[in-house]
Structure 1
């Protein structure tokens, strides 16, 4: 039996500076986070990528096992770890260390024979697609997935290294994807403009048939499909931090579409916003529990019916 959901890309270690003398390490990675969300929600899931053969890679492998991911898709390679050095948190300031690191040596040919089928859902994004040696492997996987009819989701997750050289990847992945998630920060960074509306129009032109989840933090989120747009504000919850909220919202949307593809857009949006909101109620990248997600999404839908301005469709 193979996993139904596979996130391919990077798993890395965040090194966070706590003070002048101390640092803290946290397992992470945008695509890896989404795989954990789907696994927590009960979908047989895997992370397809490579990590190092050292304490950092071992920690990621252990966390993947604890999350219930299918470890047949995760490789350990004899190269250095990929690190995100977060030397300032307010405002965030970071850089990546990963010259010839293990993630770049991921080998799709070593995945279990027969793993790809039309019943799969593949997810791509993060900095993995901005690292040419790895990006070409992932793009090839995405093309193969499209050829067999598998579903594809894409979250660029803008980072500073995604300059104009990233544009061909953005264009191809957007064209291949069934589902695209972007935040307001993503749009400004990817399209190098302060005009978010224009950037969103450019993105939609890359694939008019794709479903787009557009998140704007506390201002809410929108789901765009076939000329229609649905909008929803997040519930009022106690926020601990927003780490991993975007990955959780992507996971909530995928889970809803995986469970009931023909559900109304409002329902898919409610699960996306509920998952992102729940992720903010605990420290770090926190995958929501299924019972909590169902309850909050149901509450949001009921509230939206009572207050139509909270959830509305426009053309």
Structure 2
């Protein structure tokens, strides 16, 4: 055994999140404008960090003031940022336009790629998560698929399409890319709105069951304030309600649910490629418990402004 092997054995398992980190410019109906770090994969990494998980984010940030703000935001939640050999000319921007009830629609000024080389973690990640723009927008999306393929032998793969029609073209053009990643994934979380755009008029439960036959052990569909439904490759079907809260806005709600899902499966001992069979065979009671906690995490997020997921201490959990 080499010294590197010994070092790896002593390091706690970590998650690797791959995808965009950017700046959200939030415009409200009262005319106010605010800027804060955003991006779906980044939000998932933040959520995991706040829940006490070791997590690294592989992204593509500009060497500018906005990029520095994103890095500080990540570091404040104990997220490691993997440094690459290239960067964009400027940090990407997403403008979130909130309606009267706080629901966001987005406009984007961004480019997406992965650096050719980056500082890889010392140990293979227990779980690799990706989704949203990073999984669809070239040239970076092809690199994301290659990275997922490289880690499937050792890691659980999780995926949230988190679609952005303004960037992704037509459903017909986007669907093959999404379903290719679904087939490579062990866990897929998707919103009912995404499924309606991809497959208009088809029941979300029907699509979830079809996707569960493509490869994932678990598919979860979120329905906003109406909770979530899940199906497994082994045939478990269940639904969980969403807690009733006063909604500030929905920014980051799905991302915090996704972080909670990864974290909950982690606590249940269902992550890692060697646990792929156990994940597909997860029992209803365990899945119900995991999803109820995810719904609670998302409810806390929507109760306050912006993508601001809770920490484990806010959930009343005592973690080191």
Provide the secondary structure at the position in 2 that maps to 1:65.
helix
Give 1:307's aligned residue.
Answer: none
Select the residue among 158, 162, 170 that pairs with 1:157. Answer: 162
Q: CA RMSD in A?
A: 2.4
Maintained 8 Å contact 1:187/1:200: no
Aligned pairs for 1:53-72 within 5 A: 53-72=63-82
1:221 aligns to 2:228 (yes or no): yes
Give 1:309's aligned residue.
Answer: none
Provide the secondary structure at the position in 2 that maps to 1:123.
strand
Select the residue among 310, 313, 319 that pairs with 1:288. Answer: 310
- Greater shift, 185-194 or 269-278, is seen at 185-194
* TM-score, length-scaled by structure 2: 0.81
Give 1:94's aligned residue.
Answer: 106
Provide the secondary structure at the position in 1 that maps to 2:139.
helix
Select the residue among 18, 23, 29 that pairs with 1:13. Answer: 23
Q: 1:125 to 1:139 in 2, by over 3 A?
A: same
Structure 1 unmatched ranges of 5 or more:
296-315
The 2-side partners of 1:5 and 1:230 are apart by 27
CA deviation string 1:29-76 (max 9, x = no partner): 000000000100111111111111111111111111111111335777
The 2-side partners of 1:280 and 1:82 are apart by 24
The 1-side partners of 2:199 and 2:12 are apart by 37
Shift of 1:200: 3.2
* TM-score, length-scaled by structure 1: 0.82
Shift of 1:83: 1.2
1:274 aligns to 2:296 (yes or no): yes
Maintained 8 Å contact 1:245/1:277: yes
Select the residue among 18, 37, 51 that pairs with 1:41. Answer: 51
The 2-side partners of 1:110 and 1:133 are apart by 17
Shift of 1:256: 0.9
Give 2:37's aligned residue.
Answer: 27
Aligned pairs for 1:152-191 within 5 A: 152-160=157-165, 161-162=167-168, 163=170, 164-191=172-199
Say which structure is richer in helix. Answer: 1
Maintained 8 Å contact 2:208/2:220: no
